[in-house]
Chains A and B, each alone.
Chain A
Amino acid sequence: MSHFQSYFPDTGSVDMTDRTSALDKSHIERLTAMADRYPERRSALLPMLHYVQAVDGRVSPVGIEICAEIVGATSAEVSGVATFYTQFRRRAGGKHHIGICTTALCAVMGGDALVETVERKLGIQADETTPDGLFTLERIECNAACDFAPVMMVNWEFMDNMTPDKAEQLLDDLAAGRVVHSTRGPEITSWADTEAVLAGLDDGRADEGPSAGGPSLEGVRLAAEHGWTGVPGKDTK
């Protein structure tokens, strides 16, 4: 690899004539209501595309046209937005999205080893989906949980301080349909359910999980131990 090579994975071969879509009248009404919440309709485009994914499993060509009509843009413009952001899929993926952070710190702390473990376990490479449609694997960039490194995300819920053994157990549990909880969040359901949350729907799970994980509380714990406080008055705990 001594000279410059262009490398553009995941381009081409999206069938824009594929008209399959589960979007119906009620979905379109909801998309329209989302757009109406903003001072300018086009502002709702990202949440709307999350919603299209929740329903269609991908940013479908039909979904793009519907969003374009609602926000008053061309379908080419909406496609241009959809392809800019990494969370938007142009092809259907697995029921569960497995993201493993391999940015520098997580990679060093074990993220690279986790990718190897999961690839071997599932028999797929990153950016691929298992033949049974259960798992899509992605190497993700820093997910703002560095004090819990190495970090795995399942359907964009935190799976902190991951190890190869824990990862294998987690995949077994999900495949068997056993109940799995995020280490700092709710019960794991599916990638599509999370997409609906990102679109703004309330799944009633805000109260699940702890207030914070251990590392988030290290400073507070130490301060309490030493009697250190930041605020005056009585509420200093």
Chain B
Amino acid sequence: MTDTLTPVLTRNWGTDRSWTLDAYRAQGGYAGLKQALTMSPKAVTDLVKDAGLRGRGGAGFPTGLKWSFVPQDNPNPKYLVVNGDESEPGTCKDIPLMMASPHTLVEGVIISAYAINAHTAFIYIRGEVAHPIRRVRAAVREAYAAGLLGANILGSGYDLELIVHAGAGAYICGEETALLNSLAGLRGQPRLRPPFPAVAGLYASPTVINNVESIATVPSILAYGKDWFQSMGTEKSKGFTIYSLSGHVARPGQYEAPLGITMRELLELAGGVRAGHTLKFFTPGGSSTPILTAADLDVTLDYEGLAAKGTMLGTKAMQIFDETVSVVRTTRRWVDFYKHESCGKCTPCREGTWWLAQILARLEAGEGEPGDVDKLVSVASSIGGRSFCPLADGAVACVTSAVKHFREEFEVGYTTPAWEHLPYAQSTLFAKEVRP
């Protein structure tokens, strides 16, 4: 029986100078790397595959399986790229990890690069977060000085160069092929797949792209073993993960637990919905995953449990909204976000998000035209599944799920502004502080 919360990645976040090599080593850091270097690269890949680690960045693809797709007979260099472009609304786990324990990530990079026979690796971090970038760069400098990066790592004969790369503001670069284009110095626009990055990624060479949390989980599997990892989680969703709770919850924050905890349990751990209020709706995995309501509190927060509810685990970012919140307002803001972040490559997404945004704007203002709600659903159905990348699917998921659960509230927008229906000042953190 595992514990309710299982701090692994987060366990050292509050310790003194946790971001330094000394502090990381003092709590057992780099033991996973030492273990990995005694194994063959293939054995490391097999271990991660057998452990059942799945991607923590949204799609949930098995990490070790992804590594095994790299064609080792391809004469080109192999590359490892870490996706630290954390930008999905609601998602806020990788930034604190990179800030508090960058060496966990660096250790994971070295092990993972070793497993796929890469000698150059990149950590791509969104540009709008200066301090995590400083901390990761400092950790990389320390690692080079300690012989953990560079030539002949720890006397093993294995060489690795690690480059920390800052983005420049573009949500779309969290999509793996857009990230690769951005890292190649191009506009961050997605590519058609296949070919998949494992075959033709960065510089048309075999490339593995993994999320920060996925890579940061690898050292623990090496250090504590497959059986330990599998002792947590469910049959198909193994291990532990960081759940991020935000919004109208008593204690928002990061909660690391075995996969399969229920939303009800997690919400209770966080002190429940803020005092005096009740849950209206929440996102299970960021704004790109269809919203759920209080009727769904017993859903298990794993890949299968949420798929069964027609939504996704995504980035495990629970944004919690209470009864004061206008769902028309939040849906409009999310659509504005996707409109702003659409890269413009695919017509349904580029044009469709503009149409959705305009319909939602007039619904929020109480100036909706009869039939607008049906039009929303109709436009959404012309966007989803019709683009190169999943940005468009995310843009319509929040619309169609909100209309499904709260259709009547959207219809109020034919006559009444959302801010009159549900006054906005009631929803703020500083509800008492807002001046008239």
Contacts and interface: CB of A to CB of B under 8 A. Distances in A.
Interface of A: 1-2, 4-5, 37-40, 42-47, 49-50, 71, 73, 80-81, 84-88, 99, 102-105, 107-110, 112-113, 140-150, 153, 155-158, 161, 163-165, 182, 184-186, 194, 197-200, 202-203, 205-207, 209, 211-223, 226-233, 235-237
B247 A149 contact: yes
B319 A110 contact: no
Given A45-B185, A149-B252, A197 B133 contact: yes
Contacts of B94: 144
Contacts of A182: 131
A137 to B, nearest CB: 15
A81 B165 contact: no
Nearest to A81: B187
Given A46-B127, A88-B168, A218-B252, 18 more contacts: A105-B247, A108-B330, A109-B427, A113-B425, A141-B171, A145-B95, A146-B90, A146-B247, A164-B430, A200-B166, A213-B96, A215-B253, A219-B242, A219-B255, A221-B14, A222-B5, A229-B7, A231-B8
B11 A231 contact: yes
Question: Across chains A and B, which 3 residue pairs bring their CB atoms closest together, nearest first?
Answer: A218-B253, A230-B6, A45-B185
A47 B218 CA distance: 29
A42 B184 contact: yes
A182 B130 CA distance: 11
A211 B3 contact: no
Interface string B121-134: 00000111111011
A137 B367 CA distance: 30
Interface in B8-29: 8, 10-11, 13-20, 27-28
B277 interface: no
Nearest to B245: A147
27 contacts: A5-B358, A38-B163, A40-B185, A46-B127, A80-B187, A84-B343, A87-B127, A103-B337, A105-B319, A109-B429, A113-B428, A141-B171, A142-B90, A146-B252, A147-B245, A149-B252, A163-B433, A164-B435, A186-B131, A199-B166, A200-B137, A205-B134, A206-B131, A212-B18, A217-B10, A223-B5, A226-B3
B170 A84 contact: yes
Contact of B246 (A80, A85, A147): A147
A87 B134 CA distance: 18
Interface stretch (B35-43, B81-89, B144-152): B81-89
Interface residues of B, number: 111
Contacts of B340: 141
Interface in B212-266: 220, 224, 228, 232, 240, 242, 244-247, 251-257
Contacts of B61: none
Nearest to A111: B428
B252 A1 contact: no
A161 B429 contact: yes
Given A87-B168, A230-B240, A198 B7 contact: no
Interface string B161-191: 0011111111100000000001111111000
A157 to B, nearest CB: 6
B87 A141 contact: yes
Contacts of B167: 46, 85
Nearest to B88: A142
B424 to A, nearest CB: 7
